Each structure stands twice: as C-alpha cells, then as structure tokens.
C-alpha cells in the first residue's frame, strides 16, 4: 500500500492540476508541483536507505510514512500554492524512503526462492499507479474535491503503518551510530543542482545552453567530486564507495539509468500521439499502455521463478532482445497506425522488461552484505530515478522542438497563432482535411525520431546486460551459507 500510494502521487496530481491552479491562482508555479516532489524523492532516497541500515528498517519506514501523511495533510489543506509546494516537498521526502525500504523489508522477510516469486510482482506493481493515476485523479476532482487527491493518502497510510508496526519484528544493535552529515549535505547539493536544471528547462523556459543551467550542472559535478572525497574518509558513509567495486551494483545502476533515460520520455508522451494522430480519447490513449502491463506482469512472474534456477545474465540477455524489437516496431509508426499495432509493440516491450522487474532488486540484495542492502537498493533506485527525471525532461524538449519545426513549415497554411497552440494543445478544430493530415505527419515524424533515440538506448542496455555475473542466485546463497558454516 505504501509503494502504490507513493508512486500514485506522481501521477494522480497531474489530472487535478488545472482545478488546483484555478482555485489557488498559481499558474506560474504549475510545473513545480511535480518537480519538487521528484526532487525530494530522488535527493532523500539514498540518505533514508542508509539511515535504515543504521537504525532499522521498521523505525525509518514508519518515520517516512509519517512524513508522507504529514505532507498529504499540508497539501490537502493548502490555502495557497506556497503551502501546496511545501506539502509536496514533505511528501516527496517520505516517498523517498517508502519506495526502496518496502523492497528491502520484503527481501529480508522471506527465504530466497519465495522472495524471488514475491518480488517479481513488485516491479509491475510500480507501474500500476502510472495507469490508475489519471483516472483516480479525474474521478476525485469531478465527484469529490481536489483536496481529496492528497487527503486520501491519510487513511491508507495509517492502515499501512499499523499493519507494519504490528506485523514486523526486527532486531537491531543499539550501539552509538555515526551519521555522515557532510556526505549527506554534499549529496543533496549535488542532486538538487543536477535535477533543478531540467526543472528550469521544463518550467521556466531556459535552454540547456543558458548560463544558469550550465552553472547548475557544473556545480553538481563539483559537489560529486567533493562527495567522493568525503565518502572515502567517512566512518559510516552515506553511499559507501565499496558498493561501486561490486560488479552487479554498477552494472544494474548503469542498466536502469540508461533504460529510464531512453524509455520514459517516449512512453510517457505517447498519449499525445494517440489523441492527436490516432484520434483516441484521453482515457483510451492512457490505457493503451495496459498492453505493456499485460506483457510485464506474467513475464516478471516467470522470471521470478527462473532466476533461482537459471543464470540471471542469460535471462537478462534473452529478455532484452524484445525491447529492441518493440522499439524498432514503434519507429515504423505512421499516420494510419492501428491500435492493434501499438498494443502488440507495447506488449513485446512489457514481456522484455519483465526480467528487470522480476530480478534487479533481488540481484542487488543478494550481491551485497545484509548490512548494506538498504543503501545498495536505494543507490540503484537513485540512478533509476535520475534517469527517469532527466529523460522525461530531455525527451519532452526534443518532442516539442521536432513538432515545432514540423508545424512551422505549415505556418503559411494556418491561421495566425495556431502553430504555437498545436505544439502544446493539439490540433484545433476547423482546419481543412489536407492541413490536418500534414500536421499529423509532422507529429508522426517527431515520434519516429523519439522512438529511434529510445531504440539506441535499449540496444545499449542489451550490451550492458552482458557485464552481469553469470551465476544463479540460489547457488550463491548456498555457497555463502556453507562458507559461514
């Protein structure tokens, strides 16, 4: 429940935003409502993972749930955009702990083979909120109130916290703990400046070459160098550098970063194509991606069974051929592309990525010492979140630029001011069939370019899979137990 609602808050709010903006008079801060949530999630994910390693999963998870509920109350009762942004930031900090710690707790509760089967369900479960968000948000805004987009988290969060508080027994040492405050500060500064760059590009109209954006990126690089020097000397580093000597941690971090960077933007923007070129309703276009789930869920479950019997490198290599096929098919879209063609392409993508959903967290946890499992999982999820955040921004800018270029070539056939409207709001009514067809062609070329870039990234991800260790998880665990005996 904690996982679903932490993820749901990324998407459910987008549907309610027009109503919220109208009531709170905050159009200038529109983009920051999502931006500040993702900033907080990404910045605090590794810090909370490390605190859980030091002080226990249960204590930190419940604290994160309290923050998430508190942020929901502030957001739901916000009298102004300033309070709404404050609440979203508090929510984001809490969500930054809920996501990785839920997986760590599951990982430490079950023996390996059961864990593989259970965790294979969690990957696809993380996508469910992406699909449900627009519908749930639209229903609450239409039939209840936008306030309940946030307040609905309170009863669910309290129930999840109560179940965990009563049901989870955890033993931990009570010795004095050392917290790496310098490392935490450098990490937050590095991530904030890195992630502020795409937020400014998206929401404030800056270009990637503007001095402010370049300055933020340079400052982020400087803070990363400082962070490495601090962590090399810290007694309890926020991100232990020895994690990056672990082959699987490095390979999986690179894999999820490359995948999210190359995929999220093109997949997330697909409803724009479905509505404007294929003529689908907003609801129907959003649920086209259910085909992805239809492939991902059974594939993830199957891979969860196989990962304790077959070398996981072989599973990943075999599975990652399918996203290459899926994105190659999507590069072939045209104005008359059918719903069936898109459904088949998305289904193939889902089947291929099922190996990642069913195995990456499990492999990370089995590749490091138990005392480092929280921070190791948080570190890999940090790279995943960074890839998704940067990818959404960069692909959004690329799509906008390609559409603008294509539509500008038709400007002499369009009424004044229409070109800018098309780029952001879709195709207006009243245009001739020939002009509409040309606009749809411009959209199609823009998406073909997007999917071609995604194809390049999934090919890179396929080759990264070859660097995983060629081992079976059950054998590794048995060997560890024998050595301990």
Mean predicted lDDT score pLDDT of the chain: 78
Q: How many CA atoms lie within 13 A of 326 on its CB side?
A: 27
Picking from 134, 168, 202, the residue at the C-terminal end of a domain is: 168
- Please check whether residue 317 lies inside any domain of the structure: yes
Out of 149, 168, 187, a domain closes at: 168
435: in domain: yes
pLDDT in tens, 218-274: 998 998 899 888 888 877 777 778 888 888 889 998 998 999 888 877 887 777 788
Residues 141 and 281 in one domain: no
Residue 480, pLDDT score: 45
- Decide: 457 and 349 in contact? Cβ < 8 Å: no
**Do both 161 and 253 map to the same domain?**
no
Q: Does residue 220 belong to any structural domain of this protein?
A: no
> pLDDT at position 126, please?
64
Tokens 């967290």 locate to 361
252 and 148 in a common domain: no
Report percent pLDDT > 90 for the chain: 8
Residue 476 confidence (pLDDT): 46
Q: What is the pLDDT of residue 183?
A: 80
Spatial distance between the Cα atoms of 74 and 366, rounded to a whole number of angstroms? 39
d(C-alpha 21, C-alpha 40), whole Å: 21
Report pTM: 0.77
Q: What pLDDT does 67 receive?
A: 92
Q: Give the span between the Cα atoms of 247 and 471, in whole angstroms.
A: 12
- 410-421 per-position pLDDT tens digit: 666 666 666 666
The answer to the question of residue 219 being in a domain is no
Residue 270, pLDDT score: 79
Q: Residues 324-346: what's their mean pLDDT? A: 90
Task: Let me know: does 403 contact 439? Beta carbons within 8 Å.
Answer: no
CATH code of residue 467: 1.20.1250.20
Residue 19 has pLDDT above 50, yes or no: yes
**Dist CA 14 CA 415 (whole Å):** 30
Quick check: is 226 in a domain? no
Provide the number of structural domains found in the chain. Answer: 2
Helix (H, G, I), strand (E, B) or coil at 440: helix
Q: Please check the confidence at residue 392 and state whether its pLDDT lies above 50.
A: yes
Is 214 among the domain residues?
no
**Last-in-domain residue among 141, 168, 195:** 168
Residues 246 and 164 in one domain: no
What gap in Å lies between CA 134 and CA 11, rounded to an integer?
A: 6
Minimum mean pLDDT range among 145-159, 206-220, 271-285, 342-356: 271-285
pLDDT for res 29: 64
What is the structure's pLDDT at 463? 93
41-58 pLDDT tens trace:
878 888 887 787 777 778
Whether residue 328 is predicted with pLDDT greater than 90 in this model: the reply is yes
Minimum mean pLDDT among 30-34, 319-323, 451-455: which range? Answer: 30-34
Say whether both 130 and 274 belong to one domain: no
Alpha carbon distance 237, 248 (integer Å): 20
* Backbone Cα Rg of the chain: 23
pLDDT, average across residues 208-227: 86
Place of tokens 């959903």: 357
Clarify whether residues 251 and 387 are in a common domain. Answer: yes
Dist. CA 418–CA 435, nearest whole Å:
12
Supply the DSSP string of 212-250, one letter for each residue: HHHHHHHHHHHHHHHHHHHHHH-SS-SS-GGGGG-HHHH
Asked if 332 and 424 sit in the same domain, the reply is: yes
- pLDDT, tens digit, for every residue of 89-121? 898 888 888 877 877 777 677 776 676 667 666
Q: Are residues 137 and 247 in the same domain?
A: no
161 and 308 fall within a common domain: no
Angle formed by the axes of helices 312-319 and 433-465, to 10°?
A: 160
What is the rounded average pLDDT of the residues 20-41? 71
Which has the higher per-residue pLDDT, 17 or 368? 368
Asked whether residue 305 falls in the same domain as residue 397, the answer is yes
The whole domain housing 302 covers 241-485
Label residue 14 by pLDDT band (50, 70, 90): low
Per residue in 124-179, pLDDT (tens digit) is 666 666 666 666 766 677 777 778 888 878 888 888 888 888 877 766 655 566 67
**Tokens in use for 366?**
């089995």
- Asked if pLDDT for residue 473 goes beyond 80, the answer is no
pLDDT classification of 283: cutoffs 50, 70, 90: low
The whole-number average pLDDT for the span 446-473 is 89
Q: Do 162 and 247 belong to one domain?
A: no
Instruction: Please tell me the distance from the alpha carbon of residue 239 to that of residue 325, in angstroms, as a whole number.
Output: 36
More confident residue, 37 or 341: 341
d(CA 254, CA 266): 19
Number of C-beta neighbours around residue 319 at 10 A: 22
| pLDDT of 171 | 62
Q: Are residues 153 and 9 in the same domain?
A: yes
Measured in whole angstroms, how far is the alpha carbon of residue 29 from the centre of its chain? Answer: 22
In this structure, are residues 49 and 375 in contact, taking their beta carbons and an 8 Å threshold? yes
**Residue 306, in any domain of the structure:** yes
Which phi-psi region, left, alpha or beta, contains residue 234 (left: φ > 0; alpha: ψ -120 to 50)? beta
In 3D, which of 385, 390, 391 has the Cα closest to residue 41?
Answer: 385
Q: What is the mean pLDDT of residues 337-351?
A: 89
Residue 462 lies in a domain: yes
Location of structure tokens 């942020």: 71
């Amino acid at each position: 429940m904690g996982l679903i609602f932490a993820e749901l808050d990324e998407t459910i709010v987008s549907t309610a935003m027009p109503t919220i903006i109208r009531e709170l008079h905050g159009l200038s801060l529109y983009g920051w409502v999502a931006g500040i949530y993702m900033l907080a999630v990404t910045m605090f994910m590794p810090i909370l993972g490390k605190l859980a390693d030091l002080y226990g999963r249960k204590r930190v998870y419940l604290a994160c749930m309290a923050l998430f509920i508190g942020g929901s109350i502030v957001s739901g009762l916000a009298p102004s955009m300033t309070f709404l942004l404050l609440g979203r930031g508090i929510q984001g900090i809490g969500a930054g702990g809920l996501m990785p710690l839920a997986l760590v707790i599951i990982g430490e509760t079950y023996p390996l083979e059961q864990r593989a089967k259970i965790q294979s369900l969690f990957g696809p479960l993380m996508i469910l909120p992406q699909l449900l968000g627009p519908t749930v948000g639209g229903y609450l805004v239409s039939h209840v109130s936008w306030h309940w987009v946030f307040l609905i988290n309170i009863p669910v969060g309290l129930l999840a916290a109560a179940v965990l508080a009563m049901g989870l027994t955890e033993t931990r040492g009570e010795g004095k703990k050392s917290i790496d405050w310098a490392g935490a500060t450098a990490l937050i500064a590095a991530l904030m400046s890195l992630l502020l760059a795409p937020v400014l590009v998206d929401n404030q109209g800056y270009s990637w070459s503007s001095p402010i954006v370049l300055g933020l990126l340079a400052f982020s690089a400087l803070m990363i160098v400082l962070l490495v020097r601090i962590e090399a000397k810290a007694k309890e580093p926020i991100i232990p550098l020895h994690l990056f000597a672990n082959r699987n941690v490095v390979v999986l971090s690179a894999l999820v970063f490359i995948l999210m960077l190359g995929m999220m933007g093109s997949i997330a923007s697909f409803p724009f194509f479905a509505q404007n070129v294929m003529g689908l309703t907003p609801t129907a276009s959003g649920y086209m991606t259910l085909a992805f789930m239809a492939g991902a869920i059974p594939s993830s479950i199957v891979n969860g069974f196989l990962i304790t019997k077959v070398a996981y490198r072989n599973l990943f290599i075999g599975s990652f051929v399918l996203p290459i096929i899926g994105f190659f098919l999507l590069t072939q879209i045209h104005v008359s592309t059918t719903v069936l063609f898109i459904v088949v392409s998305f289904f193939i993508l889902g089947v291929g990525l099922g190996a990642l959903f069913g195995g990456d967290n499990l492999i990370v946890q089995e590749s490091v010492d138990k005392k480092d499992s929280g921070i190791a999982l948080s570190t890999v999820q940090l790279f995943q979140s960074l890839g998704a955040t940067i990818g959404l921004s960069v692909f959004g800018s690329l799509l906008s630029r390609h559409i603008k270029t294509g539509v500008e070539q038709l400007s002499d056939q369009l009424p004044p001011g229409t070109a800018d409207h098309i780029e952001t709001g879709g195709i207006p009514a009243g245009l001739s069939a020939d002009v509409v067809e040309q606009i749809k062609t411009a959209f199609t070329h823009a998406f073909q370019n997007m999917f071609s870039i995604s194809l390049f990234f999934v090919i890179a991800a396929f080759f990264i899979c070859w660097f995983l260790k060629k081992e079976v998880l059950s054998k590794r665990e048995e060997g560890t137990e024998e050595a301990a005996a």
